[in-house]
Structure 1
């Protein structure tokens, strides 16, 4: 039985899981969960995931929520040599990857969600100065990390890059990355050229951009 991923393409965390599966060459089954239609609150979904979030992994009887936990699981269980590259066993390298993933979970993604909620539910017609400053600060954190290596956790692509770039590319839709963030722009452009980004991040990124632009125009009218 294949691994099942419950997802919505516009979701950056879901895109991170789909991209990781592609890099690993893992055949997965996907099931769409429409957040706008509140399918995440259906009783059968809540039974599997009380957090009512996407993505969600189902591997036989094993259920796992949170994209960061899911991509670590996929790389560890099914990754083989590629998984060992994305998620090295060296404890210090792994700890750096964890820190970058926690940065995504605790800083990058919450700041994106704050903007999405303001636009979609609070009728904001633009991103206010405080939220813009918060995103710029987050870009600065990443810029600093990238000064010492081409990837977020060292000299090669890891789970940290895959996870963070889905969020950063989404933030870029609403708060464009300023030219002063030279290393960050180089990092994003490098990842944009990779097939997993094109195949698994860009379609959902376009969906999210269309969603946000619709509400921005509506709110400004």
Structure 2
């Protein structure tokens, strides 16, 4: 049986959310790296597979899935030995889904508002209003984590993987104040103790933040 194929980039937070999920359930993937900055997601071949031209994209036999949250849910449902990461109980699953939508609709969307003008449009600035807009999400996460170790309660879920990959990719530009967000900091620390976290998420998050800093400096120099 062939492995599911994942088109991904290590600097992509959604890609890392899927990779964290795959590691947690022991699923081996056939990894196909895509260079976003070189536009490899815009080639004719990739667009035929995924007209949305997004990564990650999963190909599992005849099944093609083009959203990271849907991919994580799918591989848990199909390949995991238990449903703890994505519960079948409808109430618990709805809670996980709501946190996944928080990532796609707010966390990752605001990361894009902050990063894309610098990475792709030559912007020399990192506007304070966009930083503050991102930090509003920290207030929400802090509230969810006030009385539980994970975003959906006492159990680790795919929502934690999706959200932590985003937060740790932007927490240098949009600072996390430990005195204001102690639960958020403790949650990141808790996830960082997973044996696969450093390789799968932290290295890619550092890569993205370094590229962002370099592009910001280049853009500022080019505007002089």
TM range, smaller chain: over 0.9
Distance 1:206 1:62 in 2: 32
* Residue pair 2:169, 2:206 contacting (<8 A) in 1 also: no
What's the TM-score, normalizing by structure 2? 0.94
Aligned: 1:42 with 2:43: yes
Distance in 2 (alpha carbons) for counterparts of 1:115 and 1:123: 12
CA distance in structure 2 between the aligned counterparts of 1:176 and 1:126, rounded to whole angstroms: 16
Aligned 1:126-137 pairs, distance under 5 A: 126-137=125-136
Q: TM-score, normalised by structure 1?
A: 0.96
1:170 counterpart SS class: helix
1:138-149 equivalent positions in 2, closer than 5 A: 138-149=137-148
How many residues in Structure 1 have an aligned counterpart in Structure 2?
219
Deviation at 1:67, TM superposition (A): 0.1
Residue 97 of structure 1 corresponds to 96
SS of structure 2 residue aligned to 1:161: helix
Question: Displacement, 1:137?
Answer: 0.5
The answer for the alignment partner of 2:150 in structure 1 is 151
8 A Cα contact 2:46 2:53, kept in partner: yes
Shift of 1:132: 1.4
Partner of 1:215: 215
Q: For structure 2, which runs of at least 5 residues remain unmatched after alignment?
A: none
Large movers: runs of 4+ above 2 Å: 121-127
Q: How does 1:28-39 map to 2 (within 5 A)?
A: 28-39=29-40
SS of the aligned residue for 1:58 comes to: strand
Task: Find the aligned partners of 2:197 and 2:92 in 1 and give their Cα distance.
Answer: 23
Q: Which residue of 2 aligns with 1:60?
A: 61
Q: How far, CA to CA, are the matches of 1:58 and 1:15 in structure 2?
A: 17
The range that moved more, 24-33 or 171-180, is 171-180
State the partner residue of 1:199: 199
Q: How many Å separate the matches in 2 of 1:154 and 1:39?
A: 39
Considering fraction of residues, name the structure with more helix.
1
Match of 2:163?
A: 164
The residue number in structure 1 matching 2:115 is 116
In 2, the alpha carbon distance for the partners of 1:207 and 1:171 equals 11
